[in-house]
A and B are shown apart, each in its own frame.
Chain A
Amino acid sequence: MMNSAQSIRAIQENISRVIKGKPEVIELTVVALLARGHLLLEDVPGVGKTTLAHSLARSLDCSFKRIQFTSDLLPSDIVGVSIFNRQKQAFEFMPGPIFANIVLADEINRTTPKTQSSLLEAMSEAQISVDNQTYPLSQPFMVIATQNPAEYHGTFPLPESQLDRFLMRLRIGYPSPDEEKKVLDRPQSLHPAEDLQPVLAAQDMLDLQAQADNVFMDESLTEYLLSIVQATRQSELLSLGVSTRGALALSRAVKALALVRGRNYCLPDDIKELAPTVLSHRIMMARTQGLRQRSFEQAERIIQDLVESVPVPV
């Protein structure tokens, strides 16, 4: 029986066999999972978004489904559909791809808002309602959505209110030349994630999630976190600050990160480190910032600057 720190490290090591040179991305992915959150990967195609999701599912011995979002995708294509069964003379619910532990929603901004919202509803409620019937989703449940920042043509960008449902927004980024070389040198396999062996059962992950909830956050740190949130609301650079849900998300993520780092209490470092990742997609920049620059990096930098202005409790 492994303790929590060992289990978490095992997952990270397992994934890093496939995703080379991105330990911080792997760590944040695990944090999101521990905090029962969902992940938005915003990056160009071909840097390993799918592989990351797949290898996470494989490491946990969980079911994994991938949905490629297109403009003609319908809500029923995600949640499932009721079909009339002739033998039983009754409608029968055929679960859609959302009924998996890890769901990869690829290029989420390519589908219509209607379909997007059906996914987002499932994310926040952790259940599906079809024909007045409620079906709980399997646990653990995590959506890893991707979107391509380079292309805008024919896309339906997610509004801020819906982005709020994601715990954090991440970039993977290109690997360093050395790491990239390692990827190429590796024995070629079409699906490297398929070769991974599970290191943790799904039930163990639920236990770890419960542990993350119980990580101790000192009162002074809660106040520190809230003063960061307050700073986003008072900043002149932002037209919309972080919501209470955002503050809650940051608190959960911070606790999960502390657990990943092998502590049962949070530190100011955890908060400062996670604030840009957890908060940057929850804000709206003021018009003065210019449309061109209202990008991911810009938002992250604003949050970082704000955090630098909030004194840490001693």
Chain B
Amino acid sequence: MPCDQALRLTSIGLASVSFIGLVLGASLPGWLMFLTASALMVTLLRTGPVNAITSVVRPVPLSATTWNILVLSGFLGFWIDSLWISGDLLASGIHFLLVLMVIKLFNLQHRRDYVHLYAISLVAILAAASRTSDLWYVPVFLAYLLAGVWTLLLFQLTKDTAVPSADLPRRLEPLESYSGVTPKLFWMANGLAAATFGLTLVMFFVIPRVNAGLYQKGYGENVRTSGFSDTVDLGSIGPIKRDRSVVMRVELPDRPTHEVGHFYVRGMAFDRYDGRSWANQLAHRRNLSEDSPEMFTLRGSKSHQLLSRGAALHQHIQLEPLDTPVLFAAPFAESVHGKFPAVQSDINGALYLPFPSSTRIEYTAVSRPNTISPDDSRPQPITYPESFLRHFLQMPVQSDRIAKLARDISESKQTVYEKAVAIQEHLSHNYQYSLDAPLAAQAHPLEEFLFVRKTGYCEHYATAMVMMLRSVGVPARLVTGFLATEWNEYGNYYVVRQQDAHAWVEVHLPQSGWVMMDPTPADGDSLAETLPAWHRVQSLLDSARLRWNRFFVQYSAADQLAVVRDIQTGGVSVRLWTLDSLASFLKPLTAAFEAGMSHLTGGYLTPVGTLVALLLAGCGAMAWLVWARPWKWPRRAAGAAGDEQVIVQLYRRTLRQLERRGLRKPAAMPPLQFIRIIQEEWSTASTAVACITELYCRARFGRVPLTTEELHHARETFKQLRSLSRS
């Protein structure tokens, strides 16, 4: 391919990559996206090799003034946009950038237009970087790097036409000596791109930083959640049960391998129900005491300290930016460890940040579930404080049917716990789980659920259970949170999605305190089912995303200092550290490969697996041979071509040396004829010149590779010639 055409292609590629970066990073208006995409397509078609298309999409013949007016009006539009339409300088700047790109794409004629396009695409990719810190930016950035290196190389390899007059535009012309994209150039460009990336990586870890993602704050798309504000309408969780966006990822360091089952992540608890919606009347927040830096401990009430608690459970949680300040943890968090200015809690046991975070946050929580005390298996009278009962036995005005049902179920039971279990089992056995229950619109959604439809989802089950418990005098409250079921086997963590949003019940037992109970039948899993292969890839990608976030986005000055300290103490060499990081980064890939192999071979036929792998590798190699045809590669490989270059350089230097003696070789004089001239004019040097010329002719025109001795001999001869000319 000729250099100039390749340059056009890579230039469009560069613009396209930065455009894709902006599309993924910033929310662009549809018309602008369409305009830019079609401009790129048209330019690409015009550059393409098909003449029929080329003739259809001719360049627009507009004068320079028209273009300038267009740019000016675009600038005007930028101000209008930033002041009235989007009202945001950065967003309107990005829009203006794309408009400029479209204008340039249609006016891509001279070298300066190309330079302008490169500048625009650079600003665009930077803008995209400022708007995101997600994993997709890596491939986009890599593609930009590759296209950039190619473009700049090709830009240097093409040259201005030597037109001195200013009125003729300077167009792209390939240099004579680089008539096209040779395999050598191809490998050089790709190698340079790889080297640049390697250097970037090193610099990323080494160069001091102030704060990553400067513009990122406040621009990230927060995930909209339901169920984590002070009031929650009944039925509001249902609509988000189909939303697959990730809310958080939970690692359990104590439980590195997957235990089959569910994992409850507690958000908020609600005490008051008015027949339509739940409210948290105990929302008064108190700051948690910060025992040690970044360590916030929940001081339990007196009753809590008396209770028998289970084993402590550590969770490492990575929380996506949400529209709620609630911090999530497994039921009954004791402490939270994270880089927060403060952590608050309310009486219902919910944890809060002072304000919702606009970036992804990471923290570690320690939780301890309540166990059911043996005392609770004996019936015993208990009296609660009045304020406690006011909150947790509150009921809206409703028909007696619910209370009657509750009494019917729990009449025969003696203890509070037994009553609760009876009601829980009644609900989970006699009612159908369904997301298509428009109960929220009903006047009495609970009665509708219990007596008419008998289908509903977690909120209905939980609300019904709380109401029934309260009607028989058992204190209870509704809890919202997530029920994680998706275990990522590559990264060993739970992926919690919007669709895992859940509501359940906490019952207060006289001795054990608040105990978790879930009346909802385990039926929600059917939604999460996807094809196993696709699921595998997805979870692999997700674990890569987690690592990307941990090792790159969250890589902070403190981590950097740690590395430096490590170097200084010499305890851990950087090399090992890097290797370890890489290994852990690549571990999912190798694990996936092994899993794939064991999946293919059924897990026990390892020799067959090896055979299949070898066969596949052989087929791949054959396909590569057929496709690439290495034997058709240019006659002499890099070594010989290098020799040829060396001897040609040496010959040129010889000519310069002779020129200094006044023996200039005319352009039209062939090499052997020149030797005869030298013999006549300067016979002492003729042997040396003849020797170099002979080797030069053989390597240059005969393409016969020179041996090392011959090259050495040529160099020595040249030295002789130089000393001759000095004497």
Query: A residues touching B (Cβ–Cβ < 8 Å)?
Result: 216, 218, 220-221, 263-269, 271-272, 307-312, 314
Contacts and interface: CB of A to CB of B under 8 A. Distances in A.
Interface stretch (B134-142, B210-218, B301-309, B669-677): B669-677
Contact of A268 (B648, B701, B702): B701
Interface in B369-394: none
Interface string B684-725: 000000000000011011111000000000000000000000
A218 B668 contact: no
Contacts of B52: none
A312 B669 contact: yes
Contacts of B652: 314
Nearest to B675: A269
B669 A221 contact: no
B697 A267 contact: yes
Given A216-B703, A271-B670, A314-B648, 11 more contacts: A218-B703, A264-B702, A265-B704, A266-B701, A267-B672, A267-B701, A268-B671, A269-B673, A272-B668, A272-B673, A309-B668
A314 B651 CA distance: 9
B667 interface: yes
A207 to B, nearest CB: 21
Chain A to chain B: the 6 pairs with minimum beta-carbon distance, closest first: A265-B702, A268-B670, A311-B667, A269-B670, A269-B672, A218-B701
A263 B672 CA distance: 13
27 contacts: A218-B701, A218-B702, A221-B701, A263-B702, A265-B701, A265-B702, A265-B704, A266-B701, A267-B670, A267-B671, A267-B697, A268-B670, A268-B671, A268-B701, A269-B670, A269-B671, A269-B672, A272-B670, A307-B668, A309-B668, A311-B667, A311-B668, A312-B668, A312-B669, A312-B670, A314-B648, A314-B652
Contacts of B666: 308
Contacts of A268: 670-671, 701
Given A267-B697, A314-B651, A216 B702 contact: yes
A216 B701 CA distance: 8
B609 to A, nearest CB: 51
Contacts of B669: 312
Nearest to A306: B668
Interface in B621-670: 648, 651-652, 666-670
B704 to A, nearest CB: 7
Contacts of B671: 267-269, 312
Contacts of A312: 667-671
A271 B703 CA distance: 18
A122 B672 CA distance: 38
A263 B702 CA distance: 9
Nearest to A309: B668
A134 to B, nearest CB: 40
A251 to B, nearest CB: 14
Nearest to B698: A265
A218 B697 CA distance: 11
B247 to A, nearest CB: 64
A272 B674 CA distance: 12
A24 to B, nearest CB: 15
B673 to A, nearest CB: 6
A268 B652 CA distance: 16
A232 to B, nearest CB: 15
Nearest to B701: A218
Identify which of A220, A264, A307, A312 gathers the most chain B CB atoms within 10 Å of its CB.
Answer: A312
B700 A218 contact: yes
Nearest to A265: B702
A263 B697 CA distance: 11
Identify which of B648, B672, B703, B704 gathers the most chain A CB atoms within 10 Å of its CB.
Answer: B672
A57 B702 CA distance: 32
Nearest to A263: B702
A311 to B, nearest CB: 4
Nearest to B697: A267
Contact of A308 (B648, B668, B672, B701): B668
A216 B673 CA distance: 20
A308 B701 CA distance: 20
A220 B648 CA distance: 14
A220 B667 CA distance: 14
A308 B665 CA distance: 12
A268 B701 CA distance: 9
Contacts of A272: 668, 670, 673
A314 B672 CA distance: 12
Nearest to B676: A269
Contacts of B667: 311-312
Identify which of A269, A310, A311 gathers the most chain B CB atoms within 10 Å of its CB.
Answer: A269
A221 B697 CA distance: 12
Contacts of B697: 267
Contacts of B704: 265
A308 B667 CA distance: 8
Given A314-B648, A314-B651, A314-B652, A265 B670 contact: no
Interface in B73-93: none
Nearest to B667: A311
A311 B669 CA distance: 7
B618 to A, nearest CB: 37
A216 B703 CA distance: 9
A271 B702 CA distance: 14
Contact of A265 (B648, B668, B672, B703): B703
A195 to B, nearest CB: 36
A268 B700 CA distance: 11
Contacts of B698: 265
Contacts of B672: 267, 269
Contacts of A269: 670-673
A228 to B, nearest CB: 10
A195 B35 CA distance: 90
A220 B672 CA distance: 17
B180 to A, nearest CB: 12
Contacts of A220: 701
B702 A310 contact: no
A312 to B, nearest CB: 5
A311 B670 CA distance: 9
B636 to A, nearest CB: 12
Contacts of A221: 701
Contacts of B673: 269, 272
Contacts of A218: 700-703
Nearest to A218: B701
Interface string B560-603: 00000000000000000000000000000000000000000000
A216 B668 CA distance: 21
Contacts of B670: 267-269, 271-272, 312
Nearest to A268: B670
A312 B670 CA distance: 6
B659 to A, nearest CB: 13
A6 B525 CA distance: 90
Given A267-B697, A269-B673, A310 B668 contact: yes
Contacts of A266: 701
A310 B648 CA distance: 20
B449 to A, nearest CB: 85
Identify which of A220, A221, A265 gathers the most chain B CB atoms within 10 Å of its CB.
Answer: A265
B499 to A, nearest CB: 65
A172 B669 CA distance: 26
Interface string B434-470: 0000000000000000000000000000000000000
Identify which of B667, B668, B701 gathers the most chain A CB atoms within 10 Å of its CB.
Answer: B701
